[in-house]
């Protein structure tokens, strides 16, 4: 079974074990990515970290960094030469790259599917609304990252088959619980984009109200990083905040070993709410207790394996952090629950198996 995947997300090295797992299930897989992808954190250069068993190829991109307008000038040639039976378009349905890839897949007679995280019903002006409607009509299958995203697809008029499968999980070998707990101050971690929607300012305010000895490890980059440094100084906690900054993805597993609790205090916006929270999965895989707000998909990802607080509620966040610091038995219980939940729901192998099952179903219907 020959499959071509188009994915700008797969420039990130720790996402690539899923590709190895797909290839290991009898798939002749070729993955096309841009040489890099630009966003508010900067430019992520393609990391060739996990490439066994499949082809990982970078191709030219136009409008790099433009979520809606980016596309690939050589894509038609790549599809004609590889002749896949299935084209997996790892993009939202309203993006130009999705329309382009679906058009080219149909041109060579391949089955095609797209992916969506969108969990808010939003409308777009032409030509995006036209492209989205066309993709809904012509795609053979849709993958939704959560059930909420699948519901939005239906509400927006998609009538084809849809499967709920997270885009990426975490790798069992890369993300492991620490063998022992080091002697250090209680350390809270935030890993991800430093943007207003992620609520890092709320985390700083919650920690400023926390008594006793603690540290914050802030890993990531984004346009609000400078503002967060300033806020930490204003709150008088700058000496307790370790700003690690943006790191290569291959260095992230070690960051979970350096924290006791991971917090994701996301805030729902008019045009966005938390779509998954992959760092929660990586933390649970690493045996780290998690706290999340109730924004979007977070409660569904955490389940009963962590603490949920109302989004925007700083005192509640302080209490949750204090609970996990002062109640080591509770923290240990959540660490164990989190690891078990990861193994049951969010391994790359299970996500790869579900994805390949969709490929096979498409080809059965084709025959």
Evaluate whether residue 177 is within a structural domain: no
- Shared domain check, 311 and 206: yes
Evaluate whether residue 179 is within a structural domain: no
By residue range, what is the domain housing residue 92? 2-169+347-366
| Dist CA 175 CA 33 (whole Å) | 24
SS3 percent helix, strand, coil of the chain, rounded to 5, is 40, 20, 40
Per-residue confidence of the chain (367 residues) as pLDDT tens digits? 999 999 999 999 999 999 999 999 999 999 999 999 999 888 999 999 999 999 999 999 999 999 999 999 999 999 999 999 999 999 999 999 999 999 999 999 999 999 999 999 998 899 889 999 999 999 999 999 999 999 999 999 999 999 999 999 999 999 999 888 788 999 999 999 999 999 999 999 999 999 999 999 999 999 999 999 999 999 999 999 999 999 999 999 999 999 999 999 999 999 999 999 999 999 999 999 999 999 999 999 999 999 999 999 999 999 999 999 999 999 999 999 999 999 999 999 999 999 999 999 999 865 4
Scanning the chain, the segments in alpha helix (DSSP H) are 17-23, 75-82, 96-107, 128-138, 147-155, 200-208, 225-234, 252-257, 278-285, 298-302, 314-326, 328-345, 348-366
- Shared domain check, 243 and 299: yes
Q: How many domains is the chain built from?
A: 2
Upstream peptide bond of 352 is cis (omega within 30 degrees of 0):
no
- Shared domain check, 336 and 249: yes
Q: Evaluate whether 69 touches 56 at the Cβ level (below 8 Å).
A: no
- Shared domain check, 197 and 143: no
DSSP codes, 277-328: -HHHHHHHHTT-EEEEESSTTHHHHHTTSSEEE-TT-HHHHHHHHHHHHH-H
What CATH number corresponds to the domain at position 299?
Answer: 3.40.50.2000
- Shared domain check, 164 and 88: yes
- Shared domain check, 241 and 95: no
- Shared domain check, 98 and 215: no
**pTM for the full model?**
0.94
């Amino acid at each position: 079974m020959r499959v071509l995947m188009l994915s700008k997300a797969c420039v990130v090295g720790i996402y690539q074990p899923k590709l190895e797992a797909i290839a290991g299930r009898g798939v002749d897989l070729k993955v096309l990515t841009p040489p890099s992808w630009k966003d508010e954190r900067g430019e992520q250069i393609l990391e060739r970290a996990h490439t066994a068993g499949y082809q990982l190829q970078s191709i030219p991109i136009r409008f790099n960094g433009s979520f809606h307008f980016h596309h690939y000038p050589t894509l038609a040639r790549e599809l004609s030469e590889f002749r896949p039976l299935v084209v997996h378009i790892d993009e939202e349905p309203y993006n130009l790259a999705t329309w382009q890839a679906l058009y080219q897949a149909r041109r060579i007679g391949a089955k095609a599917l797209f992916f969506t995280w969108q969990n808010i019903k939003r409308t777009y002006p032409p030509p995006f609304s036209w492209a989205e409607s066309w993709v809904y009509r012509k795609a053979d299958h849709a993958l939704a990252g959560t059930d909420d995203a699948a519901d939005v697809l239906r509400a927006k008029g998609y009538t084809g088959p849809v499967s709920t499968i997270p885009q990426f999980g975490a790798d069992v070998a890369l993300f492991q619980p620490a063998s022992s707990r080091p002697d250090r101050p209680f350390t809270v971690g935030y890993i991800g984009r430093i943007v207003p929607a992620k609520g890092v300012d709320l985390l700083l305010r919650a920690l400023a109200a926390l008594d006793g000895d603690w540290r914050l490890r802030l890993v990531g980059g984004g346009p609000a990083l400078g503002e967060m440094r300033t806020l930490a100084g204003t709150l008088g906690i700058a000496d307790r905040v370790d700003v690690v900054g943006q790191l290569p993805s291959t260095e992230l597993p070690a960051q979970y070993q350096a924290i006791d609790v991971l917090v994701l205090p996301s805030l729902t916006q008019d045009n966005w709410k938390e779509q998954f929270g992959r760092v929660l999965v990586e933390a649970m895989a690493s045996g780290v207790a998690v706290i999340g707000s109730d924004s979007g998909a977070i409660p569904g990802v955490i389940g009963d394996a962590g603490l949920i607080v109302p989004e925007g509620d700083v005192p509640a966040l302080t209490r949750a952090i204090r609970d996990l610091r002062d109640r080591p038995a509770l923290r240990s219980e959540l660490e164990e629950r989190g690891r078990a939940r990861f193994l049951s729901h969010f391994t790359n192998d299970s996500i790869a198996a579900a994805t390949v099952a969709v490929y096979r179903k498409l080809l059965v219907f084709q025959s």
